[in-house]
Amino acid sequence: MVSIQSQHTIIPSSPTPNGKLFSLCEQTKLRTHAPLLYAYGNASLRSSLSPSSTLNCHVFHTLMISLGKALSIYYPLAGRLRFIDGSRWEINCNAKGALLIDAFCNGKSMYDFCGDDFLPTGLVSQLMPKIDYDAPLDDTPFLVVQVTRFNCGGFTIGVAMCRAVIDGMATIRFMNTWAKLARGESLDPSERFPCYDPSLLNSRALLPSKNVNNLHEHHLDIFGTPPPWLGTFRQDSRVAVQVVKLTKEQVNKLKMKAAIENGKSAPFSSFEIIAAILWRCVTKARYQGKGDQPTRLTTLVNCRNRLKPPLPDNYSGNAVFPTVTTCSFTDLMQNPLSSTVGKVKDAIARVDDRFVREALVCIRNTKDMDLVRYNVHYPAKSVLKGAFKGNPNLFIVSWMNFSYKFLDFGFGEPVHFGPGYMDSEGKAFVTNNVSGDGFNVAIALDSSHMDAFKKFFYEEIIQEVFVPISKL
């Protein structure tokens, strides 16, 4: 239903530095691409650009020209990965360019095609560019963008960004810069000169040698093998994706209750509350009578301001590290929500300057980085042996600080932002909704668990929110 009209290699519009960039932090990331989907409704488009054929041409041309300008600033995104030392890689800043795809969907309006929630599966996945991972590493662009136009005048921008090159915060800075250039606006100095000095992170690995022998054991829980599934294997499993929603009012009430129950003087964050609810409800949905089943929650932490001294705000490589917390199914199901929130908060809080330094030494001393990448990003070994057999773990990614309002390319603000595709069981993305008064959670689970998860999720919110705080 979505047809590709043309493909264009976009190189930086002005000469860029050559050379290689190597970062220890980026060695733990996958070479796969994060799928970001932005949707723009026809109501936001400039009426002066009608008819639609003229409008469509103008949209794509504007995005093409401004992308070349943005790549001249974010020049590593125009490069390619290069293997070094077996399982490690570096960024080759060779200006090979990004790929921009022009696509068209005939016969349906954008909302008829995508639905109100833009569920990141099935039809909606056609709005994302397809990446050929069988191609040689140096032929795979870091950035691939698909612009899909609809008869109604709306369009989507599907952005596939290589995880091994850039993290979420830097990605949003790049997208904001691209949009600002498309609008014809001037950039401030921090936008014109992003920081690409990986030595700022690599140098932090220089710890006293007497500490090195204990580092690997200290970080086994992060880089080690996730807990396997102990329950009954299902040979006919498939992954289902759904979007569940919370209002800010609900989350604020949950934060207040959890803080009172835990006796915490420092408040919990919205992400900590949402992550705890998700973890509890996914566990309840998966439960098969084995209370001793271990389960691991993995989240990512932006370390820019957690380091001493902090990284520059405009550091544009990878500066996120995983943090995990593990407990049993019984622990999650029998203790109150505040207990789970406390586990999430403690796991995030321990990511400090020393944690990052020790993690970097661990990465530096590890020989098989492929194993580390699988342990961090994939749910359990039982999932990797061909067909899915079971997964007790959960990986939650926060896109809650990714603002909508700056992603106006000159045609209005987006009416939707979220993941464009999900197929990994046990993974969830948390975003703000477009109106700013709540949160959307896109989650992928075994299809046999999805209905139970949704039931527990909304029951948990109602139960926790409507118990008066005075009775705690």
The CATH number that applies at residue 375 is: 3.30.559.10
Token pair recorded at residue 380: 């359990």
* Domain count for the chain: 2
Count of helices and strands (H, E) across the chain: 15, 15
280: helix, strand or coil: helix
Residues 238, 190 within the same domain: no
Give the domain-ending residue among 200, 231, 259.
200
Token pair recorded at residue 237: 């499993």
Q: What is the dihedral of CA 340, 346, 348, 350, to 10 degrees?
A: -160
Residues 193, 103 within the same domain: yes
CA–CA separation, 469 and 472 (whole Å): 5
Residues 195, 244 within the same domain: no
pLDDT in tens, the chain (472 residues): 899 999 999 999 999 999 999 999 999 999 999 999 999 987 444 433 343 454 567 889 999 999 999 999 999 999 999 999 888 999 999 999 999 999 999 888 999 999 989 999 888 999 999 999 999 998 999 999 999 999 888 999 999 999 999 999 999 999 999 999 999 999 998 899 999 998 888 876 655 544 545 544 556 678 888 999 998 877 777 899 999 999 999 999 999 888 888 776 668 999 999 999 999 999 999 999 999 999 999 999 999 999 999 999 899 999 999 999 999 999 999 999 999 999 999 999 999 998 998 889 888 888 889 999 989 988 766 555 555 678 999 999 999 988 777 899 999 999 999 999 998 999 999 999 988 899 999 999 999 999 999 999 999 888 766 655 444 4
Q: CA of 165: how far to CAs of 144, 174, 176, 217, 260, in Å?
A: 13, 12, 18, 27, 41
**Structural domain that includes position 96:** 2-200
Sheet holding 143-150, edge to edge: 2-10, 98-105, 143-150, 155-162, 33-40, 416-419
Which residues are bridge partners to 80 per DSSP?
92
Give the domain-ending residue among 165, 200, 235.
200
